[in-house]
A and B are shown apart, each in its own frame.
Chain A
């Protein structure tokens, strides 16, 4: 049965002949009978035909009954559609191109969303894994002592639990650093995730014990790119931060790490902190927050049951590990905490968090662009179907069913949108890689799996089909109402064409104008916001500043030499040719590194804890001059500020206002907590301008700087900032040489202040660029739509306009009449769009800096741009109309 129907599809020709034969037989039998009844032959033949009715239509209906209607129709329709699309190449190219852009943009953004948010974690039963959090803390970051408590105390609720913390390992012996992303992992990490080894073995609980041996597992990608895919790598040694580690295995290639977009190359057990960090390891640090904990709850327990048990048992974990040196209120907070589990791992990746919303906004933007493209194609098809009215009427008259006509038009639409989709996938493949490139920074390479998997392709096909339905609807609906009589009769063009027919076309253009306005307004906001961010005064001058982060690798016990070494280094750097300023610091601004504390000021009480917060840095003298941060009052540090002299500090304006309201801060003092008591008072010797500390978006914060020269507990990490009037990277070699001359075993990494600033704004730049691009695209598409519709409307009114001109209407009057029509369409569109923008732009509020989401200036600007461009697009057809030669137009009649 089934098979015969399928066969029929491919035998359509034979089948039609069969039906023709069958009908012919019927007709000749009838003819014979009528003739036998005495009717003349010729009349009998006519009568037989008349009785049978429309042979073509009946034949078609009969055939439809035979076939899997649509299947056969599809083959025929596709053939017909291809032919008719080939006839109108211009139309086809414009339609496919706009669809390719629209669908491609959607696919590109969706493939990012898919990679960042929808793909499952590459581990066993990822849906079972939960992220551990605690009450009273908004994040789930743990210390190692807490982790040990959790590991040993949750056997009743979890079948497995694991911890990991990010780090970066330096692979180089000395000189410029070669850093890779690494992870400190608990021994349970690989077994609980169910990740197997590709070579050798994974890390096991036995590797993670106090005093453990230095062993490491490397990722498959690292093994391939850095270890030459050496099959005998198991047992080989790997240098991490200057220590020899033994490679025990290579992880499964399918496992790039837990966090989307971030790959970890080297895994070492937690206990190896003792080897890598020496005395300063995190194993017993109760305030060193660096671990994420994941758990698999026992399958028989519900989430509520798990949380209920944790609520009673887990408080002890905190009670057993009170941090030292915390203010009483913070400590009380800590001791009151209990664990709970989050519902899913959705929040695990930093990339997910910081880009999820941006991607959703982009998705909305590209969806609007696609809608605008759809409206364009719908308009083109409408115009075309009006032009094809007679062709369609002929087909109806010849017996084609109306359903068949509609199917025909949809087939054309589907072909267009599938062709658009095919091109769009190529565009998306390229576009999504460009996007990922824009997301990456020199330090963090974002790596995403962007392969075109089932969800992405399914999405594209669904979008293509939905698109075809969307833009095919109006033309098909109109085609269905074709009345062959009227359409055939309308041989020439009527004197005055009704305008009503173009109601749909104009409505579509209004919608396009409205949607473009929303997009342009959003683009305007994001661009404006990016501009104010880029132009925001960071409080320092990033240009010309080279930043060298160094680990001086001072031998244990000789850290005090660090200060002497720094003095020597700063002096050498200052002496380098081309260098106009050099200094050292704990950290530079916008490096996303930070250190903060809570101040105590005698005689001042702070109602809220945040008010006491101060972000800190430790700097060598000349630091402010190097970064061109003005010292507003007091003095810079100097060689008088030494370990023995009274501790001094420089604060910024915000700190000065907040901690010493209503008076000069100079000479005032503040203290920081040390353990359970307070530090010696720091005397404020200078006040500097406000500086952005961690990111360019920082609101003004209280900042404090201590004298590097007074640091008695210098570790061995330090950042050198060097200013030059030349391009700063040209100094890299000289600076590197100077530092290694003084400290031969130091390891270094370089960046520039400009680069740090740029990278901290990459998301803003990305959004602004893309929204401007798509806004422009939307504007272009809408203008093509407007131009096309108005040209078409003018063409339809040729006779009317010709007669008007012949009767003496002035050109300007015709021009006004057409432009009036354009303005009405544009004005309604702009009004709708303004309402839409007011409703939609709060969606981007979180990305804005220095702009409100309903910024009236931006909105008005967007409306003005749109109206101007629209009038230009409408002016061209209007001018053509007004210059019409009435003689020529009317003679055509």
Chain B
């Protein structure tokens, strides 16, 4: 299979996950992967192996909380939801992403 280069930029995974949870409410891990992939018009693919360590880390940071639940297909899944601290973190990450994007764009335009 051809290697795609649209793996998620390091450091932006937290931002994307938090944003999804903020917008969509409760989601399990696979749904998050799926959602990011779909909503980015298949431009972005979450490296699946990094997702769970990231989710668990964010849980320890207190940005998301998790609980076991049942999916429509009656499978047991772990559902994640954003917390108040997570929303504050999301704001910060959005800001810093905006700064990064501006910066990169300027370089691309004027360099």
Chain A residues close to B by CB (< 8 Å):
1, 5, 18-19, 21-23, 25-26, 28-30, 32-33, 51-54, 57-59, 61-66
Contact = CB atoms under 8 A, between A and B. Distances in A.
Nearest to B75: A25
A58 B28 CA distance: 17
Contacts of B62: 1
B48 A21 contact: no
19 contacts: A1-B60, A19-B56, A22-B29, A22-B77, A23-B52, A25-B75, A25-B76, A25-B78, A29-B75, A30-B30, A53-B48, A58-B50, A61-B49, A62-B53, A62-B56, A63-B56, A65-B54, A65-B56, A65-B57
A378 B56 CA distance: 37
A443 B13 CA distance: 79
B77 to A, nearest CB: 5
A18 B59 CA distance: 14
A452 B75 CA distance: 60
**7 A-B pairs closest in CB distance:** A53-B49, A65-B57, A65-B56, A29-B30, A58-B49, A61-B53, A62-B52
Nearest to B52: A62
A21 B56 contact: no
B102 interface: no
Nearest to A67: B60
A70 B78 CA distance: 25
A66 B55 CA distance: 9
Nearest to A64: B53
B77 A58 contact: no
Interface residues of B, number: 23
Contacts of B42: none
B60 A54 contact: no
Contacts of A52: 48-49
Given A19-B56, A32-B73, A51-B48, 10 more contacts: A21-B76, A23-B52, A25-B30, A26-B29, A26-B33, A52-B49, A61-B52, A62-B52, A64-B53, A65-B57
A616 to B, nearest CB: 84
A29 B30 CA distance: 7
B47 interface: yes
Contacts of A5: 60
Contact of A65 (B29, B49, B53, B77): B53
A62 B50 CA distance: 9
A438 B77 CA distance: 73
Contacts of A62: 52-53, 55-56
A18 B29 CA distance: 13
A22 B32 CA distance: 13
Interface string B54-80: 111101101000000000010111100
A41 to B, nearest CB: 16
Contacts of B48: 26, 30, 51-53
B52 A22 contact: yes
Contact of B60 (A21, A32, A51, A66): A66
A744 B30 CA distance: 107
Contacts of A26: 29-30, 33, 48, 52
A64 B60 CA distance: 11
A752 B109 CA distance: 101
Nearest to B47: A53
Interface in B28-49: 28-30, 33-34, 47-49
Contacts of A64: 53
A30 B75 CA distance: 13
A53 B49 CA distance: 6
Interface in B1-31: 28-30
Nearest to B62: A1
Interface centre among A1, A33, A61, by most chain B C-beta atoms within 10 angstroms, is: A61
A39 to B, nearest CB: 13
Contacts of A22: 29, 52, 77-78
Nearest to B51: A26
A175 B1 CA distance: 108
Contacts of B57: 65
A28 B75 CA distance: 10
A62 B51 CA distance: 9
Contacts of B77: 22, 25
Contacts of A51: 48
Nearest to A68: B60
Nearest to B58: A65
Contacts of B30: 25-26, 29-30
B98 to A, nearest CB: 27
A454 B5 CA distance: 59
A26 B53 CA distance: 14
Contacts of A53: 47-49
A51 to B, nearest CB: 6
A870 B98 CA distance: 69
Contacts of A66: 56, 59-60
Contacts of A25: 28-30, 75-78
